[in-house]
Amino acid sequence: MTLDELEARCEEVRMEWAQASAAAHDPEALEALRVRFLGRKGSVTSLFDALRALPPDARATAGKLLNALKGEITAALDDRRGALEREAIGARLQAERCDLSLPGTWRPLGRLHPLTQVRLEIEDIFQKLGFDVASGPEVETDYYNFEALAIGADHPARDDWDSFYIEDRLLLRTHTSPVQIRVMKSQPPPVRIVCPGRCYRRDDPDATHSPVFHQIELLWVEKGLTMAHLKWIIGEFVSAFFGPGYEMRFSADFFPFTEPSAQIHIRRPPGDWLEIMGAGMVDPAVLVEVGYDPEEVSGFAFGLGVERMAMLRWGIEDIRLFYQNDIRFLSQF
């Protein structure tokens, strides 16, 4: 082969390369090209073999030509490989793209039952006034539910608290007042507690009665407490829970475990009087029963209905709505 011939071959190979490489669009095709041109039996490699057949004085020139051709093809292969890699990465990024502006999956949020909201709010009001939260069993003995609260077996007041009996002297508590007894028996005075809880009475359900309902009891026993403190505490509660501008009215009532006893009404003029709770000074007989000295300490208590507070707050007219679990009702609070 002469130098001219070699030069012509180089030109042919260059054109072959241009054609073949234009048609290569993936890494496998590029690898096949590399083998075809630069592999052990590749067209460029075999030209290097032909170099040896040239006269010595032409070899240097021919070597430069071949090296240039090999360099061109190597560089072009690298370029194409790089471009393909970038394309592949781009395609993958596009395919795996996550559109952060798309709306998410909506999950409905629950909320607290209105009775729970009211209970927590009332607990909070009294905790800020220094009261602890206490609780007792819903299945209660006759002793705690009645006897210790001065409601003897044949006391006519038992008719007001007709209950569900589990056994002869075991019943579902009819009020939260038994918690007063349990707490006083477990510690010396002073006592400042609120006792929220479920209560049960054998009432026929109607718009204002439910056989299961909730009360919050308050009890404060300490040296020197009078009815004036009771009035102050209730006034604090009314303005915290119902808001400003309410009048309060105490009227005489009767509970076997308080003396005197009162029914408390509130109203925002010119509205009607609304009954909010029963209350009274703890009867000395109850203090004696729990081992306190009525000459040393005095106290007062009240019991309010959680349902009643919620009904007054939101203008709800049927107590049964609280237990039907109708989401259309519950989601309004």
177 touches ligand PHE by CB under 6 A: yes
Backbone angles phi, psi at 220, to 5 degrees: -130, 120
Minimum CB distance to ligand PHE smaller for 62 or for 286: 286
In three state form, how does the secondary structure of 221-232 look? EECCCCHHHHHH
Closest separation in Å from C-beta 205 to ligand PHE: 18
- One residue of 118, 173, 303, 310 binding ligand PHE per CB under 6 A: 303
Which residues within the stretch 266-295 sit at the binding site for ligand PHE (CB under 6 A)? 278-280
220 touches ligand PHE by CB under 6 A: no
Exposure class string for 181-196: b at 16+ Cβ within 10 A, else e: bbbbeeeebebbbbbb
Report the alpha-carbon distance of residue 137 to residue 150 in Å, rounded: 19
Cross-strand bridge partners of residue 304? 216, 277
- One residue of 13, 191, 301, 310 binding ligand PHE per CB under 6 A: 301
Cα 138 versus chain centre, distance = 28
3-class secondary-structure state, position 300 = strand
258 touches ligand PHE by CB under 6 A: yes
Q: Residue 259, annotated ligand binder?
A: yes
- One residue of 70, 119, 175, 192 binding ligand PHE per CB under 6 A: 175
Q: Count residues contacting ligand PHE (CB under 6 A)?
A: 11
298 touches ligand PHE by CB under 6 A: no
Report the alpha-carbon distance of residue 233 to residue 126 in Å, rounded: 9
Q: Tokens in use for 119?
A: 């209970």
Taking contact as CB under 6 A, which single stretch among the options 3-11, 39-47, 99-107, 298-306 is the one that binds ligand PHE?
A: 298-306
Taking contact as CB under 6 A, which single stretch among the options 60-68, 233-241, 296-304, 320-328 is the one that binds ligand PHE?
A: 296-304
Closest separation in Å from C-beta 300 to ligand PHE: 8
Q: Tokens in use for 85?
A: 């890699």
Report the alpha-carbon distance of residue 217 to residue 133 in Å, rounded: 10
Minimum CB distance to ligand PHE smaller for 6 or for 148: 148
Q: Tokens in use for 296?
A: 């040393």
Closest separation in Å from C-beta 177 to ligand PHE: 4
Cα 134 versus chain centre, distance = 25
Cα 17 versus chain centre, distance = 67
Minimum CB distance to ligand PHE smaller for 13 or for 290: 290
Binding residues: 259
Judged by the rule CB under 6 A, the positions of this chain that interact with ligand PHE are 175, 177, 217, 255, 258, 278-280, 301-303
Which residues make up each annotated binding site for Mg(2+)?
A: 259
